[in-house]
């Protein structure tokens, strides 16, 4: 096994971060300072800063729930200088970095959308949560100008192709009694989450989304969180999610 892969599986960080540990001379294999090409085989002793590491000693990943506000980008930095989630007080260094691990977003919400965004300290776990193969449901509440017909909703449920992009079947349900003169509310459940999928589906049928709030991602819900709030997922819930994904065949 390549050393950087081994270190990633042992919880040392991304492969690039693992390579930096090796370059800094902090990794040994069987008592010898490692190089980027040092192989690792079963039974080898791998140390980082003289501490043994192995995939079975990897610490439990950490997950955080963020209520992303509108007009905030989901990215680490923006070349146009626009506000990102990492500019929010809850995630703004040094307060965050002194107490928490480096995190990555699990999927995205576009700049005009709001609601639940999951952040992960572990890349493979984030990838498994996003994978369509694992079909974690995402629940949204969406306000639109216009109205879907029953045939439109049935077409979306069956799966549809728009501009040569195939969209997996999704559940769209109108909230009756919530309609205004021009706007109607829908509950939308996706298990894939392609780029701007909900907006494109509504647009295809002549409706315009003017508000989109994600309420749930897999087992995690927005609850009573206010925009900009962040909460850590309890370890027992993280472990339960990992076990569920493993049963589906995810490699974590």
Which are the catalytic amino acids? 110
DSSP the chain: -BHHHHHHHTTS-SHHHHHHHHHTT-EEETTEE--TT-B--TT--EEETTEE--GGGPPPP-EEEEEEPTT-BSSS--TT---BGGGSGGG-TTTTTTTS---EEES---TT-EEEEEEES-HHHHHHHH-GGG---EEEEEEEES---HHHHHHHHH-EEETTEEE---EEEE-TT---SSEEEEEEEESS--TTHHHHHHHHTT-EEEEEEEEEETTEE-TTPPTT-EEEPPHHHHHHHHHHHHHTT---
Task: Say which residues have a Cβ less than 8 Å from residue 152's Cβ, sequence separation at least 6.
Answer: 205
Alpha-carbon distances, residue 144 vs 138, 151, 178, 199, 203 (angstroms)? 18, 17, 11, 9, 10
Distance (Å, whole) CA 122 – CA 109 = 19
Distance (Å, whole) CA 35 – CA 28 = 9
């Amino acid at each position: 096994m390549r050393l950087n892969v081994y270190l990633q599986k042992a919880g040392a960080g991304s492969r690039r971060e693992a390579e930096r540990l090796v370059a800094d001379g902090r990794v040994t294999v069987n008592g010898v300072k490692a190089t980027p090409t040092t192989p690792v085989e079963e039974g080898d002793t791998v140390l980082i800063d003289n501490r043994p590491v192995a995939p079975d000693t990897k610490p439990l990943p950490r997950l955080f729930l963020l209520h992303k506000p509108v007009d905030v980008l989901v990215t680490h930095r923006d070349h146009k200088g626009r506000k990102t989630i990492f500019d929010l007080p809850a995630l703004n260094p040094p307060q965050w970095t002194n107490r928490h691990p480096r995190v990555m977003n699990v999927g995205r919400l576009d700049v005009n959308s709001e609601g639940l965004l999951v952040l992960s300290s572990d890349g493979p776990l984030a990838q498994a949560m996003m994978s369509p193969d694992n079909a974690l449901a995402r629940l949204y509440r969406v306000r639109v100008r216009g109205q879907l017909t029953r045939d439109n909703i049935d077409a979306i449920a069956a799966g549809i192709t728009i501009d040569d992009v195939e969209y997996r079947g999704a559940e769209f349900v109108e909230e009756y009694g919530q309609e205004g003169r021009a706007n109607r509310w829908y509950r939308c459940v996706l298990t894939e989450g392609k780029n701007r999928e909900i907006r494109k589906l509504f647009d295809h049928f002549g409706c315009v989304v003017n508000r989109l709030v994600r309420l749930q991602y897999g087992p995690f819900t927005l609850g009573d969180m206010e925009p900009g709030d962040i909460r850590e997922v309890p370890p027992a819930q993280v472990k339960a999610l990992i076990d569920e994904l493993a049963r589906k065949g995810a490699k974590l």
